[in-house]
Structure 1
Amino acid sequence: MGAFAGILLIWIWAFRKSSVETVPEPTLRPSMVYASLIPQVNRQLAELNEHLTQLWKLESPKS
């Protein structure tokens, strides 16, 4: 129990002061890029949905 308390104190001491990290602002692409990607993503999601539907139909119900 004493070892646990000692290790816990070491961790508390290590995290006593939080460091500040600056996060840069994200750079967004022009809206035309997103507009061209949306149909492709929707098509891929529809294909995935179809594959999953077929997979679930192939599985026999577990009893």
Structure 2
Amino acid sequence: MKQTKGRNLSPRANKVLLLLNIVLFLGAIVLAILNVDLKEYTPAAAMLIVMFISGVNIYGCWKRLKGKL
């Protein structure tokens, strides 16, 4: 199977994605806390998954901006 490398994004696009992922991460924290407070554990678990994925995306965007990825 032939593997191809994805197209590189511009630094501006990486900055925008970094900001969006940070906002998504913070929003997921707030929603997870509110859902636990209301004893709704399934949405809280979903927000933890969203936090994990956005955290990985934040790390990737940060590394691309620093030129290490």
Find the residue that maps to 1:55 and give its secondary structure.
helix
Structure possessing the higher radius of gyration over alpha carbons: 1
Structure 2 CA distance, aligned partners of 1:27 and 1:47?
A: 29
Residue 42 of structure 1: aligned partner: 22
For residues 2-50 of structure 1, what are the alpha-carbon distances to aligned partners after superposition, in whole Å with 9 as ceiling and x for unaligned?
xxxxxxxxxxxxxxxxxxx111122111121011221121111111110
**Amino acid corresponding to residue 51 of structure 1 in structure 2:** L
**Amino acid corresponding to residue 33 of structure 2 in structure 1:** T
Find the residue that maps to 2:3 and give its secondary structure.
coil
Q: Does 1:56 align with 2:36?
A: yes
Structure 1: tracts of 5 or more residues without a match: 1-20
Structure 2: tracts of 5 or more residues without a match: 41-69
Q: Does 1:31 align with 2:8?
A: no
TM-score normalised by length of structure 1:
0.53
Structure 1 CA distance, aligned partners of 2:6 and 2:17?
A: 19
Find the residue that maps to 1:25 and give its secondary structure.
coil
Structure 2 CA distance, aligned partners of 1:53 and 1:27?
A: 37
Q: Which runs of 4+ in 1 moved over 4 A?
A: none
Larger RCO, structure (CA 8 Å, separation 6 or more): 2
Instruction: Give the paired residue count.
Output: 40
